[in-house]
Amino acid sequence: MNREEIISTTKRFLSEEFEVEESTILPKNNLQKTLDLDSLDYVDLVVVIEENLGFKPTADDFKSIDSFDDFYTLVEKRLA
Amino acid sequence: MLIEKENITRFIPQRDPFVMIDNLIAADEKGFESTFEVNSENLFLENDVLSESALVENIAQTCAAGFGYVNSLKGEGEGQLGFIGAVSRLTVDSLPLNGANISTKIEILNTFDNIHLIQGSAYSNEEKLIECQMKIVIA
Contact B112 A50 (CB under 8 A): no
- What value does the mean pLDDT of chain A take? 94
- Write out pLDDT tens, residues B77-129: 665 677 888 999 999 999 999 999 999 999 999 999 889 999 999 999 999 99
Give pTM, 2 decimals: 0.85
HEC profile of A26-75? CCCCEHHHHHCCCCCHHHHHHHHHHHHHCCCCCHHHHHCCCEHHHHHHHH
A3-79 maps to CATH 1.10.1200.10:
yes
The domain segmentation of chain A, as residue ranges, is 3-79
What pLDDT shows up at residue B24? Answer: 96
Delineate the domains of chain B, giving CATH numbers in brackets.
Answer: 5-138 (3.10.129.10)
Let me know: does B68 contact B121? Beta carbons within 8 Å: no
Scan residues 15-74 of A and list those with Cβ closer than 8 Å to B.
39-40, 42-44, 46-47, 50, 56, 59
- Write out pLDDT tens, residues B56-75: 999 999 999 998 888 888 87
Q: How many Å lie between the alpha carbon of B79 and the closest alpha carbon of chain A?
A: 22
Query: Which stretch of DSSP H or E encloses residue B14?
Result: none
Contact A40 B85 (CB under 8 A): yes
C-alpha angle B24/B30/B31, rounded to 5°?
Answer: 30
ipTM above 0.90, yes or no: no
Using a CB-CB cut-off of 8 Å, the residues of chain B touching A56 are 110
**Backbone dihedral region of B75: left (phi > 0), alpha (psi from -120 to 50 degrees) or beta?**
left
